[in-house]
Structure 1
Amino acid sequence: MKRFYLIGFLLLMAFDTLAQLSFKYAAMHAEPLSMTTEWLWRVFGHPWIYGAFVGYIGAFFCWMTLLKHVPVGPAFAASHLEIVSVMLLSVWLFNEHLGWPQLLAAGLIILGIVCLALGEHREATSS
């Protein structure tokens, strides 16, 4: 069952990350922003917007599958690991700045997930 959790959350993180990065690429290729049909054609004319759709649909199905088997608290927290993965990949792909505030926030997200997982594990073993 641990393998199921690991694979499930890695897939969820991968799909969520794909969706966020694809939206960024789609937005970059559709510039300048204007509420016109020409702009919509630019958005839907690039494959990145479809990567975002695939990412969100994949994440939805991973999330629904995980929720059948995983406690909601740790699952909800772990589903936010994509914030860390998007941040790290954005440094590499988009040359975005990574400073101490971002690293501290990423560490706090990971620490929160670990605390919830340990608490859930202790609760499960004491029952």
Structure 2
Amino acid sequence: MIFHGRYRYNNGAYRPFLTAYVLSADNRWMKYSFLIDTGADETFFHYRSINILGIDTSQLEILDDVGGVGRYSIPYFHWNTEMKLISPEGTKIFGGEVNVFLDPHATDVPLLGRDVLDTFVA
């Protein structure tokens, strides 16, 4: 399958983005524009996703063992959901854990990491 992304001007540079749909807590597919981040081990959603996806954070385990280039810990949590990618050849749905940042300053765009990207053969 070939998925068509686009380069979007973001923070002073053109960066690769891919549209995907994420299953919300109330079973609606929500459209997201992900930054393709081959340096990220895992996929991360921005803080605003808590409200967008209707995530109940009251019983979640908070983690802080992730850091980017700045090497500082950023609080986040795991959340089970599904992601859907659509191409002219069909649809691919992934299920499993994704991560959601609790710091509103961690990122302003969701990051599509290698946990999803590695399921494809180049």
TM superposition score normalised by structure 1: 0.25
Q: Which structure features the higher share of strand residues? A: 2
**Greater gyration radius:** 1
Q: Which structure features the higher share of helix residues? A: 1
